[in-house]
Chains A and B, each alone.
Chain A
Amino acid sequence: MEQKTKIRADDGKQELTITREFDLPLELLFKAHVVPDIVEQWMGTKVLKLENKNHGSYQFETSDAQGKVVFRANGVIHELRPNQKIIRTFEMEHTPFGVQLEILEFEELTADASKLKIHTIYESVAQRDQVLQLPFTYGINMAHNRLQDVVSKLK
């Protein structure tokens, strides 16, 4: 089966691209990026602020079940052209990953299909590679925690 989401991250570069085709009209794909409660649903984070305009800013926050903040990110919207393009920065607070520049391009394919291309540029090759590895590290840690749970039950 062909993979719907494609990542291109060449060795030794400080950028990557994510491309994805959706079975959605262009307007709905764009709407999913600018309506706060929709963004919350698919990004899995709370949207504290989302100013959809040139020189606007945004802020995301995720808390665990105990209400402790586990993730906070923010950025500035450099340029926003409805149904066409969003240029923005993104930074995860209290992490060593720096600031990344994101260029989102929205394209109509047919009346019911559209395409999103996200071009992300990091401060350095090392930072890009670190961000790329985050989900992998997370997966291994989850497995480790589960393992510890199992082991502690055996005691």
Chain B
Amino acid sequence: MTTITSTEPAAVALRDALIERTARGERFAGLTASRDGGTVTLSAYLAAPGRVDTLEAALPPGAAGYPSLTPAIGAAFWYERLIHDQTGIVPEGHPRLAPLVKPGDPLPRHVTGYGLFTIPHGPVRSGVFESMEYLVETPGEAIPHLNMRIFYKHRGVAGRFTGMTVEDGVLLAERAEGIASVAHALAYCHAVETLAGCEIPHEAALVRVTHAELERIANHLDVTMRLADAAGLAVATARFALHKERVQRLVSAMCGSRFGRGVVVPGGVAAFPRKRPAEILAEVAPLERQVTADMRAVLVTSSFLDRLRGTGPLTPARAREHGALGPIGKASGFADDARLTRPYDGYTELALASPGTHQAGDAMARLRVRAEEITQAFGLIRLALSDFPERTPPTPRVPLEPRDGRTVGWAEAPQGEVLYDVAIAGGRITSCQPRSASFHNLVLMHEVFAGDILTDFPFIEASFGLSAAGAAL
């Protein structure tokens, strides 16, 4: 952790450091603020191969504002709005300082002109969706501008961590973004384990990989199902729903929860899977065959592909500039997969192939990335389980005593990298700031509607594959 001390105001020094280091190729990965009495401290995260650095800038006591980072670091746009909501401190010069997780009036229309109107879409959606509101500004078909309001689901998860025991914290992390329970639990536990300086048992690391990859497969199948549903491809929708259900049933047979909850705990895993590795592999094999075959079929169904090609394009330049995470970044030629560049648990030893290069950045490319990740995930599960000893190993977890301190843990969720900035004192959490990939990526939806029309909306939303719960926390 680097604390910036400079004669310049701290926030300016922070901004300059961020500009310099992102220019060197490091990725801006988030910004949070904490208030301690009258002092607000900004913490920015920079991801580089092998590490995530935290840059801190303590604002002068009683400061009401600081020069906004957003004009220089565009990806800070939502982070600074969030900080304003949470601490009341004003990022001066922020382009649009509207509330993000606090209720606020709808923004005035961005695009004005004859015949333009706003379609409010949400927060109560049609069908089974998480609550969030899209305000679609349109002359009738094209979508020149889109606004999103995510505050409806804001639960105050970050604040709830404070005062929890280390052991309880992981339960909340699992429920921060329910569809990525394992990844959130992993990111949290990695931070705790770093503070404790402990090494988890080899077999526990393999179980973690297995569950994390099953979660990835389930999420990508869900996205594929939603895309097929949007295209009215009834059989494909049913097929992918069936595959997803089978994955969830396998997970529940292994641990009792359909979302892998209760598996990852600080120091390892709570228990080894109830099924033997050979049994799991015997179930995974036919599943892999069927998923692969249906994925191949969906990728040659022209009526389906017509809806995806060129839909919701994110340019490689924007993806790089924003540091787009997960499949969205990969589809636009920007791949920073934490499993590869900052490996953890079993990923340090299991060979993970570099992702294929995609440049198109459209819904089609995002689906291709997910198809590749599914194939890769099955491969990783096979590797992890064949490494697993036949006899039940002695212990699934090591006892740990986290030292007082603060650090960042990370994990690659199906949506992209998840960060947990955890501070512990006396065995209790003094602060915990989760940052989901959904939050970081969702803001990009503002910019992908170039040339797309209303009927493309479900495809773009599904292809992003994000969770409103994770975004609003």
Q: Do A and B come from one complex?
A: no
Interface of A toward B, CB cutoff 8 Å: none
Interface of B toward A, CB cutoff 8 Å: none
